[in-house]
Homo-oligomer: A and B are copies of this chain.
Amino acid sequence: MTQKVSPLAPSILTTTPPLDGVRIATAAAGIKYKGRTDLLVMCFDEPVSVAGVFTRSLCPSAPVDFCRRNLEGGKARVLVVNSGNANAFTGKKGSEAAELTAQAAARAVGCLPSEVFLASTGVIGEPLNASAFAHVLDGMVGEAQADRWESAARAIMTTDTYPKLTTRAVKIGDTDVAINGIAKGAGMIAPDMATMLSFICTDADIAPEVLQSLLSKSTGPTFNSITVDSDTSTSDTVLLFATGRSGAPRITEASDKRLRAFRKALESLMRELALQIVRDGEGATKLVEITVTGAASNRAAKRIAMSIANSPLVKTAVAGEDANWGRIVMAVGKAGEKALRDRLEIRFGDVRVAVHGERDPDYSEAAASEVMKRPEIPVKVDVGVGKGRATVWTCDLTREYVAINGDYRS
């Protein structure tokens, strides 16, 4: 496993301030990793509103099953996350480990197990020995502090090369509210799913069903618009908690106009976290932004964009800094959505390489190559059918990806 920080990492780590009503503790429980934290507890002093989106995998992990059940209550008091072991495909032992963790956390906080939320990330199929760390939860809850968002982001890393966190400040009515979020993910990142782990908190006061609507709608153009390797985790979880401590008015309708700025800020925060994940894509050296326009619908545009983003031949060409737009044509063709070959236009950055179904007569290989040398490459494709559009993000496919994943388990 490489320890080198991704060349696409943000140059400055965002300082994420405390958020009213949230206290954090981390610990090195030795679940798999040595010499680093692997256990995160996020405590809410009062019951908070909670919303969640999860993997669409038909073989979800035990914590995903557990959270889905508890989400029906809409209330949370504590979140427990471990890295190093996904507690996925671990059968009855897996759900027992989740229950044991939840009971220990509930005892420590003084709440019901139905107010506990769990996530696990790491190797699939290894039994998780929860008894090895459940006893430390009590102490962690006791010493949890507000000012530990960076530590939280570090404790949930697996093959990540840097911690992922950010913050937004926005108003609801006349009141300042904040949104803080952390995320993890570098491989097994796939399209059209609630992807990876992310935990977001706000001190706004928002009813659970409104919070769920906000989260579900914001997931599509953010976490569900990124792909590293087309592989979907069994453990993908995004949870959004609202503590209500800001003093802002309680919002009980998704249509409430006072949510407008909050909605934009939430989506912007989620997009930033999603892009931080792509920037840490295993082995990545290039960030690729793919915008498809002129499709039959937005949904069709997204399918075409994801077909390009997931193509190994496109991704290896990007790694080789090769302006190989023929492979873009191939990926458009295999997407299964309507595209007019003879109206297709393809641009790398501002360089139009193809127009009217063939190579642009004015196309300069030198100019296109210049774009391919950049660390961030915009690819624009118009398929000439309608008005549908979508933007997705991916990274290149390098020898390093193969090296990282050829010996992850061992």
Residues in chain A within 8 A of chain B (CB atoms): 55-60, 86, 88-94, 123-127, 187-188, 190, 193, 229-234, 310-313, 316-317, 319-320, 322, 324-327, 329-339, 341-342, 344, 354, 356-359, 397-399, 401-403, 405-410
Contact = CB atoms under 8 A, between A and B. Distances in A.
A14 to B, nearest CB: 30
A406 B320 contact: yes
Contacts of A402: 316, 319, 397-399, 401-402
B322 A58 contact: no
29 contacts: A58-B334, A58-B336, A59-B339, A59-B344, A89-B344, A89-B354, A90-B358, A91-B357, A92-B358, A124-B327, A124-B329, A125-B326, A190-B334, A230-B312, A232-B333, A232-B334, A233-B330, A234-B333, A312-B312, A313-B405, A316-B401, A317-B405, A322-B406, A322-B408, A322-B409, A322-B410, A398-B402, A399-B403, A401-B402
Nearest to A410: B322
A336 to B, nearest CB: 7
Nearest to A356: B91
A58 B358 CA distance: 15
A323 to B, nearest CB: 8
Contacts of A333: 55, 57-60, 232, 234
Nearest to A341: B59
A410 B344 CA distance: 23
A386 to B, nearest CB: 15
A312 B398 CA distance: 12
Interface-central residue, A319, A337, A402, by most chain B CB under 10 Å: A402
Given A316-B401, A319-B402, A338-B58, A326 B359 contact: no
B357 A325 contact: no
Which label, helix, strand, loop or mixed, suits the secondary structure of the A interface? Answer: loop
Contacts of A326: 86, 88-89, 123-126, 409
Contacts of A338: 58
B316 A58 contact: no
A125 B327 CA distance: 9
A89 B342 CA distance: 8
A339 to B, nearest CB: 5
A124 B329 CA distance: 8
Nearest to A230: B312
Interface-central residue, A89, A329, A335, A337, by most chain B CB under 10 Å: A89
A339 B124 contact: no
Contact of A234 (B58, B92, B329, B335): B329
Contact of A127 (B334, B336, B359): B359
A313 B234 CA distance: 13
A246 to B, nearest CB: 39
Nearest to A336: B58
A329 B89 contact: yes
Contact of A408 (B324, B356, B399): B324
Given A89-B341, A124-B329, A358-B93, A334 B57 contact: yes
